[in-house]
A and B are shown apart, each in its own frame.
Chain A
């Protein structure tokens, strides 16, 4: 993939994350900030399908943005063919693992498996 395409995704995920995380934080205000973080209320949030979709989107956006950011930092830190391949593929694997594990948590909680 071209670096400009990767960076467009990087900037796009940053902008979208800011929007969705803002909504996510505003949702805390619907029942009072402290109450919204109580165990039952957090679990109840996962029963709302639109909210679950938003959480999944935030997870994907932040994982893509974060791991690409990490890749960029590591590429600037050290150079070398093998190292750069390891960083690129390592970031990709890390991103997939994080999205997989996060999605599993979201789905299990949505299904009531706590």
Chain B
């Protein structure tokens, strides 16, 4: 059953001069002891700059410090605080309450990931799939000799892959992917985008190896181009486009 609590005036991290408040609904679930998730409700004041993460941390500080949430940098760089915010996968530190345009903010753990507790999900499979596509430069002369220079690239060559290098492994794309909802073996948009990031890199010579890895029954062909991955990426990466480019290599349209 939901419990509604309010932060006492003197305790709120957001000054109570703020006339605005929202009801923050937090999903609580411990797979070790609970059969299903339940929502706890808290009334939290906010300013126009207050983020969802700050509201959750207010709740942790003043009402229920057992709320499990993973966070670190608070500036959309570490990719730790991905969660479902009002039904959409977003970074809690990068989402302002004021921009949600709602009096009720519901936070849940990301879809398509195993829940560790409350808002925290397990990233083992994400990192396993990321590692599987060989996310590093592959070259015959991989070690630089002391008298050699760095591998040079033209701005045009950098342009081919640079947006994909912005991936912070937050898992929002995998959470939004409709294929991942039913196919747990699907390699996923995150890993596929990273496969393209290295395939498109002029310094890399591991294209054939990577294309072989993703060319399997739960690989690139299971993408149905819903495009949700690109919609939710907080860093402007376009995994759906990368996947289509990779398909171009496999179908012989690109070389």
Contact = CB atoms under 8 A, between A and B. Distances in A.
Interface of A: 2-4, 7-8, 72, 75-79, 84
A101 B79 CA distance: 56
A75 B217 contact: yes
Contact of A72 (B185, B222, B250, B251): B222
Nearest to A71: B217
Contact of A4 (B179, B215, B218, B222): B215
Given A75-B217, A76-B179, A77-B183, 16 more contacts: A2-B215, A3-B216, A3-B219, A4-B215, A4-B221, A4-B250, A7-B221, A72-B221, A72-B222, A75-B218, A75-B222, A76-B182, A76-B222, A77-B182, A78-B182, A84-B217
Nearest to A78: B182
A76 B250 CA distance: 21
Interface of B: 179, 182-186, 215-219, 221-222, 250-251
A75 B215 contact: no
Dominant SS among interface residues on chain B: loop
Contacts of B222: 72, 75-76
A76 B221 CA distance: 11
A72 B182 CA distance: 12
Contacts of B182: 76-78
